[in-house]
Amino acid sequence: MDFTMNLAVSTPPKRADKTADGTADGSDAAALMHEIGGGAKAAARALALANTAQKNSALAAMAAAIRGRKEEILAANALDLAEAKAAGATSAFLDRLALDERRIAAMADGLEVVRALADPVGEVTERWTRPNGMTIERVRVPLGVIGIIYESRPNVTADAAALCLKSGNAAILRGGSESYRSNAAIHAALADGLRAGNLPEASLTLVPTRDRAAVGMMLAGLDGTIDVIVPRGGKSLVARVQAEARVPVFAHLEGICHVYVDKAADPAMAKTIVLNAKMRRTGVCGAAETLLVDRAAAANQLKSLVTMLLDAGCEVRGDAATRAVDARVKPASEDDWSTEYLDAVIAAKVVDGVDDAIRHIERYGSHHTDSIVTQDEATAEKFLREVDSAIVLHNASTQFADGGEFGFGAEIGIATGRFHARGPVGLDQLTSFKYRIHGTGQIRP
């Protein structure tokens, strides 16, 4: 994940008055959230039955409105930035919060990308005929109401809205307090699009309060109206959501991804994959955090892998065997095996073959994405079978852990849970299904 701010930390002090910028007191917030939940539930029913053309015309109108309201959005963002600066926000935080012409254009383009994707709703994913002549179809239907809880990046408002809308789900968006005005300006543009598509405004609600109690109500399911929560933000936000949510959550807490270089690895391929998995982008959840090298490969591959990483500017924290190949390697502590650095740092260890590598990954990993480099098909097969992660790769970089790279077009995040959605969560994963049965008068004997 790119985000490191904690929702709790980033929320300004609660105010007792109700103001134009959306602050409300606790009881007001409860009544307001109750109303939002009911509205979203009703809108979800309409959205589930909306046809593809309607949803696409709304998405096109949303993109146009984002472009058309660019000045408003930038003005709102400037106020958010000024407030955050005055509150002493870090430059990394301000960068996540800041919008410019390029970022606004990217939001509009993202809406068009989702518009161009196939509509999953109504897709028949299985069909079979029973001996009595009945035909059973498994058909995709929307999930219902999706609650999105996110932090400073205002683009999530548009990105998440697009995926929810295209998959026929209503969305309740609760963005970071520090991006409140930016989100509201973006939401106003999206609402233009809903009207243009003749879809209910409650299809997409931005929680109009900075009251932190709203998050707790969403995690409790908002009177049974929220079907799933998707958190978008740093580890502390995701941890809070996973701990407190009473409804399903699509998320991953961290990506402690491994690359295992087997004795039968092609040395050149191993170097290319390790460098890419760690260094292409260090802040993404699919970045490798631990390098495991087969003891039988250590003699002729460990030194070149480690030197390559160090020369590329990556700090290496290694076990004794790894430290022995280069004096620049720092000692790894027990904690390093379970740390998601999200930075140019890697833990490195020599293991006794694929079984030991699998044991290490199962013990310290986060069931996100893990890769083996080997020319031995049987060893690869063993690794792919026994490593219990959402994504397992053979001879490819862990940085492919991304809905776009899977061909999903766009994703709302990566899930490491075992239910419903696992790995990248794209449009298909935002749907449920029902069984549709066609008979000719069949009764059960």
What would the DSSP string read from start to end of 26-59? Answer: HHHHHHHHHHHHHHHHHHHHHHHH--HHHHHHHH
Q: Does 425 bind a second copy (CB under 8 A)?
A: no
Binding-site member from 52, 54, 307, 395 for a second copy (CB under 8 A):
395
Return the number of other C-beta atoms located less than 10 Å from residue 45's C-beta: 12
- Residues contacting a second copy: total by CB under 8 A: 61
Give min distance, CB of 192 to a second copy, in A: 28
CA nearest 90: which of 8, 152, 150, 149? 152
Buried b (16+ CB within 10 A) or exposed e, 229-249: bbbbbbbbbbebbbeebebbb
Binding-site member from 9, 31, 35, 45 for a second copy (CB under 8 A):
45
Q: Does 14 bind a second copy (CB under 8 A)?
A: no
How many CA atoms, within 13 angstroms, populate the side-chain half-sphere of residue 364? 24
Q: Does 359 bind a second copy (CB under 8 A)?
A: no
Q: Which residues pair with 145 in a beta bridge?
A: 170
Task: State how far the Cα of 269 lies from the Cα of 383, in Å rounded to an integer.
Answer: 18
CA nearest 175: which of 22, 328, 393, 367? 22
Q: Which one, 48 or 113, has the nearer CB to a second copy?
A: 48
Characterize the bridge pairing of strands 124-129 and 135-142. Answer: antiparallel
Q: Does 86 bind a second copy (CB under 8 A)?
A: no
For the segment 246-265, give every residue that binds a second copy (CB under 8 A): 246, 248
Instruction: Find tokens 């930390």 and name the residue.
Output: 9
In angstroms, what is the C-alpha Rg of the chain? Answer: 24
Give min distance, CB of 140 to a second copy, in A: 11
Q: Which one, 86 or 443, has the nearer CB to a second copy?
A: 443
Q: Which one, 197 or 221, has the nearer CB to a second copy?
A: 221
Q: Does 386 bind a second copy (CB under 8 A)?
A: yes
Q: Among the candidate windows 17-25, 175-183, 200-208, 404-412, which touches a second copy by CB under 8 A?
A: 404-412
Binding-site member from 399, 411, 426, 427 for a second copy (CB under 8 A):
399
Q: Does 435 bind a second copy (CB under 8 A)?
A: yes
For the segment 209-228, give every residue that binds a second copy (CB under 8 A): 227-228
* Sign of the C-alpha dihedral computed for residues 177, 179, 181 and 187 taken in this order: negative
Binding-site member from 106, 239, 269, 324 for a second copy (CB under 8 A):
269
Q: Which parts of this chain interact with a second copy (CB under 8 A)?
A: 45, 48-49, 122, 128, 130, 134, 136, 141, 143-144, 227-228, 246, 248, 266, 269, 272-273, 275-277, 280, 362, 380, 384-386, 388-397, 399-400, 405-407, 418-420, 422-423, 432-444
